């Protein structure tokens, strides 16, 4: 099986790079740049290496760099964004703050004849996000693409098979990004497309059956896809030696806690302990309005409750947790900048790191449920969280989701947010003064970037009129028309 090394320099889109490579049926492994030596790379049999983006400047003293020898192993390299600049830097080129200032967003790129750009039109749209740029090419390289602001948008040294692109081929906004990656994989590295996702579940089950033989394993189950996949894989591997603890923090959507309990206990026969900790969480959150502080309190509370449950279970050998890569990246593990502290990362001592969604293992309703953030409705009640506000939001959210569910083509995520803003309304002959609810719907491939979904007016109308009529305490409904970036999907 051919495989590609994704050398991680802390970029926000690193997991996407690996995903795109795997989608082309080539296996990709992500390794932090400082966790693998040139010798290990040479011995691992990689067909190609991709240097990821990252938030640093290569000329800064503390900039993350790999050994220069990585470039002399005879393995093709593709540098992306920071990786492109690092490649130029290591080969003797110069990098400086971009003369025209930073370049951000969809940008027209003009490409020249190059193996990287085979079958791609000469002019197309790419996604740019950089403040530095390659000023002087290293010896042996030539420029193969440029934008209005960036003279070296791509460079190539065909002899040594070293390539760099300043733009991000891994994000969907780059129109021919997938082709650029495929050209690198197949035309430059000569990979075979023979890797299949389907084999992964069976391999993992077999592996964990062996590795965890005779051990008692504890898993924090949230009911989200990630921990659910981990639970089902482990249950298949070790049966009753797995105990799942489901901490119900009282910030779940309407009916969700019971759904999780039913599914896992009845359908999968998982040993499940449900802890009802609503009061504890609401107490800890009383009077707190800062979004990061709220997230931290929820995250820490979760770990405390989980720990005290674990203590009562006696000897536990392994703690398991399922988490998706974007959470790891956005929480600033390794070298990426922190955007939000995601509550499912860190704290639990040992992650088993399942990173893929293995669909056939789980019922459709579970897998196709939209993602739900670890801190739950805690990040959707703006300002102080109270039981009353949670109740209002739960009802409004259930109505909105039900209305959208009727559509044939559904957004990837849709939910309601309760703002702190109240406004005057009129109902019957009386004045009302209720909360404003925001409806949010996004279309996305990967949740790293997202477009607001153009929902039909009738759907918005129906949701709005049902919410204001049925949920006492909400008197205004607005629709969020911001994409990510510049906004994030959640409001906090």
For the beta carbon of residue 153, count every other beta carbon within 10 angstroms.
27
Distances in Å between the Cα of 200 and the Cα atoms of 116, 237, 355, 358 are 30, 13, 11, 8
Minimum CB distance to ligand XMP smaller for 55 or for 425: 55
Take residue 394 and report the two structure tokens written for it.
Answer: 């739960």
Minimum CB distance to ligand XMP smaller for 188 or for 381: 381
Provide, rounded to whole angstroms, the least separation between the CB of residue 341 and ligand XMP.
7
Distance CA 303, CA 222 (A): 12
Take residue 482 and report the two structure tokens written for it.
Answer: 């911001």
**Position among 219, 447, 468, 476 found at the interface with ligand XMP (CB under 6 A):** 447
Instruction: Report if residue 488 touches ligand XMP, rule: CB under 6 A.
Output: yes
Instruction: Report if residue 490 touches ligand XMP, rule: CB under 6 A.
Output: yes
**Site map 203..222 versus ligand XMP, x via CB under 6 A:** --------------------
**Position among 209, 216, 274, 484 found at the interface with ligand XMP (CB under 6 A):** 484
Minimum CB distance to ligand XMP smaller for 343 or for 389: 343
Minimum CB distance to ligand XMP smaller for 186 or for 491: 491
Span of 13-21, 138-146, 229-237, 482-490 interacting with ligand XMP by CB under 6 A = 482-490
Within residues 288-327, the interface with ligand XMP by CB under 6 A covers 327
326, containing H or E segment: helix 325-330
Residue 92 near residue 139, CB atoms below 8 Å: yes
Q: What is the size of the binding site for ligand XMP (CB under 6 A)?
A: 16
For the beta carbon of residue 457, count every other beta carbon within 10 angstroms.
9
Distances in Å between the Cα of 141 and the Cα atoms of 89, 186, 491 are 12, 21, 45
**Which residues are the active-site residues?**
81, 168, 170
Minimum CB distance to ligand XMP smaller for 45 or for 485: 485
Distance CA 308, CA 38 (A): 44
Take residue 179 and report the two structure tokens written for it.
Answer: 């082709």
202, containing H or E segment: helix 198-211
Instruction: Report if residue 489 touches ligand XMP, rule: CB under 6 A.
Output: yes
Distance CA 275, CA 321 (A): 17
Provide, rounded to whole angstroms, the least separation between the CB of residue 12 and ligand XMP.
10
Provide, rounded to whole angstroms, the least separation between the CB of residue 329 and ligand XMP.
10
Minimum CB distance to ligand XMP smaller for 173 or for 340: 340
Count of all residues that appear for the chain in the document: 492
Within residues 369-408, the interface with ligand XMP by CB under 6 A covers 371, 373-375
Instruction: Report if residue 440 touches ligand XMP, rule: CB under 6 A.
Output: no
What is the CA angle 205-208-213, rounded to 5?
A: 125
Ramachandran area for residue 96 (φ above 0: left; ψ -120 to 50: alpha; else beta) = beta
Span of 44-52, 117-125, 361-369, 483-491 interacting with ligand XMP by CB under 6 A = 483-491
Minimum CB distance to ligand XMP smaller for 138 or for 224: 224
**Site map 327..366 versus ligand XMP, x via CB under 6 A:** x--x---------x-xxx----------------------
DSSP state of 388: H
Task: Tell me the CA end-to-end span of the chain in Å, nearest whole number.
Answer: 42
**Position among 336, 413, 436, 475 found at the interface with ligand XMP (CB under 6 A):** 413
Span of 139-147, 234-242, 399-407, 484-492 interacting with ligand XMP by CB under 6 A = 484-492
Distance CA 464, CA 441 (A): 14
Residues lying near ligand XMP in the complex (CB under 6 A) are found at: 327, 330, 340, 342-344, 371, 373-375, 413, 447, 484, 488-490
């Amino acid at each position: 099986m051919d495989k590609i090394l994704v050398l991680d320099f802390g970029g926000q889109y690193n997991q996407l790079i690996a995903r795109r490579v795997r989608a082309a049926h080539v296996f990709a492994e992500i390794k932090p740049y400082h966790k693998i030596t040139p010798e290990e790379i040479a011995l691992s049999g990689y067909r190609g290496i991709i240097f990821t983006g990252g938030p640093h400047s290569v000329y800064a003293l503390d900039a993350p760099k790999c050994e220069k020898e990585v470039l002399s192993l005879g393995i093709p390299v593709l540098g992306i964004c920071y990786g492109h600049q690092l490649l130029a830097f290591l080969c003797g080129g110069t990098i400086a703050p971009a003369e025209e200032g930073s370049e951000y967003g969809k940008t027209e790129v003009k490409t020249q004849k190059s193996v990287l750009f085979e079958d791609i039109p000469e002019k197309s749209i790419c996604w740019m996000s950089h403040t530095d740029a390659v000023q002087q090419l290293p010896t042996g390289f030539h420029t193969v693409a440029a934008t209005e602001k960036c003279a070296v948008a791509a460079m190539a040294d065909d002899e040594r098979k070293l390539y760099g692109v300043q733009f991000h081929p891994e994000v969907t906004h780059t129109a021919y990004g997938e082709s650029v990656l495929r050209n690198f994989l197949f035309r430059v590295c000569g990979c075979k497309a023979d890797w299949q996702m389907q084999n992964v579940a069976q391999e993992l089950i077999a592996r964990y059956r062996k590795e965890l033989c005779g051990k008692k394993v504890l898993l924090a189950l949230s009911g989200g896809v990630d921990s659910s996949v981990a639970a089902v894989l482990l249950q298949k591997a070790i049966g009753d030696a797995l105990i799942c603890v489901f901490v119900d923090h009282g910030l779940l959507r309407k009916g969700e806690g019971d759904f999780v309990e039913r599914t896992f206990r009845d359908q999968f026969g998982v040993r499940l302990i449900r802890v009802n900790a609503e009061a504890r969480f609401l107490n800890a959150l009383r009077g707190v309005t800062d979004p990061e502080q709220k997230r931290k309190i929820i995250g820490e509370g979760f770990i405390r409750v989980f720990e005290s449950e674990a203590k009562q279970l006696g000897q536990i050998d392994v703690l398991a947790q399922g988490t998706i890569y974007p959470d790891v990246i956005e929480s600033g593990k390794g070298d990426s900048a922190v955007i939000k502290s995601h509550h499912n990362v860190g704290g639990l001592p040992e992650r088993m790191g399942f990173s893929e969604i293995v669909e056939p293992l789980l019922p459709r309703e579970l897998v196709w449920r939209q993602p739900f953030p670890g801190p739950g409705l805690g990040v959707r009640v703006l300002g102080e969280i109270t039981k009353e506000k949670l109740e209002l939001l739960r009802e409004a959210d259930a109505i909105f989701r039900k209305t959208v569910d009727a559509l044939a083509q559904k957004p990837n995520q849709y939910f309601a947010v309760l703002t702190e803003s109240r406004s005057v309304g009129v109902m019957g002959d009386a004045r009302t003064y209720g909360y404003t609810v925001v409806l949010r719907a996004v279309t996305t491939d990967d949740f790293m970037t997202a477009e607001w979904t153009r929902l039909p007016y009738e759907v918005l109308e129906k949701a709005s009129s049902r919410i204001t009529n049925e949920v006492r305490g909400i008197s205004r409904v607005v629709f969020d028309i911001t994409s990510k970036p510049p906004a994030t999907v959640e409001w906090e």
